[in-house]
Amino acid sequence: MMKLRGDMPKIQRLLSTATSPAKATSQSKPYVVGEPSGPTMKCEVPGPQSKSLLADLSKIQSMDSVHFFADYDKSLGNYIVDVDGNEMLDMFTQISSVPIGYNHPALLSAFDSPSAMRVLVNRPALGVYPGADWAQKLRDVMLSAAPPGLDQVTTMMCGSCSNENAFKLMHFKYMEKLREGRTFTAEEMESCMINQAPGTPNLSVLSFHGGFHGRTIASLACTHSKYIHKIDVPLPNWPVSDFPRYKYPLEENIRENEEEDNRCLALAEEAIANSGNNGCPITGVIVEPIQAEGGDHHGSNKWFQGLQQICKKYDIVYLIDEVQTGGGPTGKMWCHEWFDLEDSPDIVTFSKKMLTGGLYHKPELRPKQPWRIFNTWVGDPGKLILLDAVLKTIKKDDLLGNTLATGDILLSGLKDLESRFPQYLKNTRGRGTFCAIDCDTGARRDDVLAKLRSLGVHAGGCGEAAIRLRPALIFQPWHAHIFLQKLEDVLLAQ
């Protein structure tokens, strides 16, 4: 099990990672009262209203990625309603960023008090003018859900800027070690103003093929999922290594997958060991617990444990990017809690279901000077009000237990469909409801997703041919059965 640092103050975690699936399955009613009993489709998606609105939007903004326009007044619970009146079971939830469904009463009432409304209206520059209760809010909300072993937290606006600032902490640690405690030299201070050495050192972060970490410059340099994210953008020439690609079913390919772990760990260590000789030392490693955007690629406990051991061996920072996996969809608050790590990661970044971006980290990574991890807002206290309501709801309704129980049904149903339609489906995998399955081709995947939507199920794709499922934490067994039946209907019609 993961060990807590003995020198850290005790933090009362609101959310235990212990779950009770049996309790979750006894919930016979939807968590959000009034949600539809099933999908209802009135027309194709996108329908005429969505097409009209997209045409209007296109006059002032290039956003050809829009799938459809939603009616957020009518969307409820697990169901998203579009402007044409189609009620769809949402298995994608705004790219995995809706924690407890649409229009949940706990969120709708979060700003009912005058004090909460003033927080929303008077948004502060938290790095210079925080409110009197800010430190207590961070303790009560952010640290109540902190990954075990991490007691430092800085909120941010999104996943990309969370990773960008995490990279800075990596580089600061490396340079502090080189300086051996001395202050900045005049040459360092002057040269950094024109992006030259020694003030601007040539340092790097190791990332992995298939990873996605954001669209700002350093985060994009560590992103390797789709060319369209990166093409034409000047980026630093940072190293990239292999993330394991397993053969499924896992239980039938133990030897091959262990060899894959060993191969990928050896490549990562080689890159780190040689980085100094190549003139661009690696100061840290960034890795997702599950490579979501890149195709829902999983790593074993051995892989993540081995990666941590390599980071310790070379005294570099181990960063786990939980932007998409954090907040409970794998059945634990943080996916890396499944990995039985020897110690907590050095940094954990988050966003999406946590409703605010940010990073948790170990105390030794705290910058020694002010203004080094900073922007105008450094997060948003209004988001903590919403997150507080989410975390209390997760605990009250045992939504982690529900996610585990429903995930078991979802995963077993996908495996059953794979066994019955092996010509179309393969590689079922998942933790909790964070599940995926591959189609035989990318074209098939796209066709299946389109037909699912026509039947009232909105799911997502990732990687070359994967269907990825990202329901809210209130997704229950009968919702899983609706999805599985609709997927079967689509497969039968192929």
Q: Which residues carry out catalysis?
A: 212, 321, 352, 376
250 class by beta-carbon count within 10 Å (0-12 exposed, 13-18 middle, 19+ buried): middle
- Rg of the chain over all Cα atoms, to the nearest angstrom: 23
Give the number of other Cβ atoms within 10 Å of residue 190's Cβ.
12
Side-chain-side CA neighbours of 434 within 13 Å: the count stands at 30
- Could you identify the residue written with the tokens 């779950």? 19
What SS3 state is found at 38? coil
CA gap 131, 381 in Å, rounded: 9
Buried-state track 396-427, b at ≥16 Cβ within 10 A, e below 16:
ebbbbbbbbbbbbbbbebbbebbeebeebbeb
What SS3 state is found at 305? helix
**Amino acid identity at 131:** G
CB 461 within 8 A of CB 470: no
**Amino acid identity at 79:** Y
CB 471 within 8 A of CB 459: no
Asked whether the bond before 124 is cis by omega within 30 degrees of 0, the reply is no
**Amino acid identity at 407:** G
- Could you identify the residue written with the tokens 């004090």? 115
Asked whether the bond before 249 is cis by omega within 30 degrees of 0, the reply is yes
Please, what is the Cα angle at 181 between 179 and 184, to 5 degrees?
60
CA gap 74, 370 in Å, rounded: 46
CA gap 174, 201 in Å, rounded: 10
Strands (E), 152-203: 152-156
What SS3 state is found at 16? coil
Give the number of other Cβ atoms within 10 Å of residue 343's Cβ.
15
DSSP state of 76: B
CA gap 421, 94 in Å, rounded: 29
- Cα 484 to Cα 460, 461, 477: the distances in Å are 15, 16, 11
43 class by beta-carbon count within 10 Å (0-12 exposed, 13-18 middle, 19+ buried): middle
Q: Which long-range contacts (CB under 8 A, 24 or more apart) does 232-238 make?
A: 236/204, 237/280, 238/204, 238/205, 238/206, 238/207, 238/280
Cα 490 to the center of its chain, rounded Å:
29
